[in-house]
Amino acid sequence: GDSVTQMEGPVTLSEEAFLTINCTYTATGYPSLFWYVQYPGEGLQLLLKATKADDKGSNKGFEATYRKETTSFHLEKGSVQVSDSAVYFCALSDPRKTSYDKVIFGPGTSLSVIP
Amino acid sequence: DAGVIQSPRHEVTEMGQEVTLRCKPISGHNSLFWYRQTMMRGLELLIYFNNNVPIDDSGMPEDRFSAKMPNASFSTLKIQPSEPRDSAVYFCASSEGYSVYNEQFFGPGTRLTVL
């Protein structure tokens, strides 16, 4: 079945460092891809999304490009801030396959940014 | 909109007791999801409702778990009897449903501790 794999954490970076969190997926169809973020003590919230190959999702300085040839959706940010400390989840959904908007989440990658 | 509302935020109970978690989805959303999050298993989908009807309950761990959605603005997840291994954070999420964008809006979660 469909699945999502993420790089293991925790990731610790200094403020203003460059961030990459790797995400690869397995899917037989043409899923939509997402990054969700979970700040401490809160629920998940959508960070960005891409619905077809070569689409680039972006929000709050974060970017990810839907690469069908490598089945990847890596999250990047050029200069992280302490406020970016959170857990990041890569996810996919293919409602055309499951007939409803079921989202498959990766295991999450914890990011800590130190001043 | 106030977002997805969950209650209680924290629940501590003893093994064998009945636990009821509550969720109010965002008004106008017709899909509702219950998730469980633990360190060991990550984020697991327990059950999905669409238009108040349970569509997929394959993630419900066993008969001790039950969920209802009596109307479009309220859902409950009940555990009876509770066990220590049920300790987790339980999230409710809602979405507009049947959309290729599939953004799910999460509540803040209920942290359940079963002693």
The closest CB to that of A42, out of B42, B48, B108, belongs to: B108
Alpha carbon distance B31, B18 (integer Å)? 26
pLDDT > 70? residue A97? no
| H/E segment holding residue A97 | helix A95-98
**Inter-CA distances, A95 with A23, A36, A46, A63, B115, Å:** 20, 18, 17, 24, 39
**Average pLDDT of span A58-85:** 97
Q: Where residue A93 falls among pLDDT bands split at 50, 70, 90?
A: confident
pLDDT per residue as tens digits for the range A24-70 = 999 887 888 999 999 998 899 999 999 889 999 999 999 999 999 99
Residue B102: what pLDDT? Answer: 62
CA angle B64, B55, B98 (to 5 degrees): 140
Check residue A28 and give its pLDDT.
81
Could you give the CA distance from residue A39 to residue B22 in angstroms, rounded to a whole number? 22
Contact at CB, B42 and A51, closer than 8 angstroms? no
Report the gap between the CA of B107 and the closest CA in chain A (Å): 6
Please give the average per-residue pLDDT across A12-32, as a whole number: 93
Cβ(B79)–Cβ(B64) below 8 Å: yes
Distance from the Cα of residue A89 to its chain's centroid: 5
| Confidence tier at A104 by pLDDT (50, 70, 90) | confident
Q: If you search the block for the tokens 């490598």, which residue do you land on?
A: A70
Q: Is the pLDDT of residue A87 over 70?
A: yes
Structure token pair of residue B72:
């479009």
Q: Which of A46, A95, A106 lies nearest to residue B103, judging by beta carbons?
A: A46
Give A85→chain B minimum CA distance, Å. Answer: 17
Where chain B has pLDDT below 50, the residues are none
Give me the pLDDT at residue B23, please.
98
pLDDT for A98 equals 59
> For residue A77, what pLDDT is reported?
98
Q: How far is CA A39 from CA A46, A90, B9, in A?
A: 12, 15, 16
The CA-atom distances, in angstroms, between A3 and each of A91, A103, B29, B31, B74 are 8, 10, 26, 22, 31
Could you tell me whether strands A11-14 and A109-114 are parallel, antiparallel, or unpaired per DSSP bridges?
A: parallel
Q: Which residues on B lie below 8 Å from A109 (Cβ)? A: none
User: Residues of B with CB below 8 A from A101's CB?
Assistant: 31, 95, 97-99, 102, 104
DSSP 8-state secondary structure symbol assigned to residue A26: E
d(CA A90, CA A106) in angstroms, rounded, equals: 5
